[in-house]
Amino acid sequence: MNEHFDIGSLLVIVVTFILFTVALFTKGFTHDLLLEAGIFLVSVKLILMAYKSSVANKEIKNDLQEIKKILKKHVD
User: To the nearest 5 percent, what fractions of the chain are helix, strand and coil?
Assistant: 85, 0, 15
What percentage of the chain exceeds 90 in pLDDT?
Answer: 24
Structure confidence at residue 71 (pLDDT): 94
Round the average pLDDT of the chain to a whole number and report it: 82
* pLDDT at residue 1 is higher than 60: no
pLDDT in tens, 24-57: 788 777 767 777 778 878 888 888 888 889 889 9
Give me the half-sphere count of Cα atoms (radius 13 Å) on the Cβ side of residue 66. Answer: 6
More confident residue, 75 or 28: 75
Say which residue, 35 or 4, is predicted with more confidence. Answer: 35
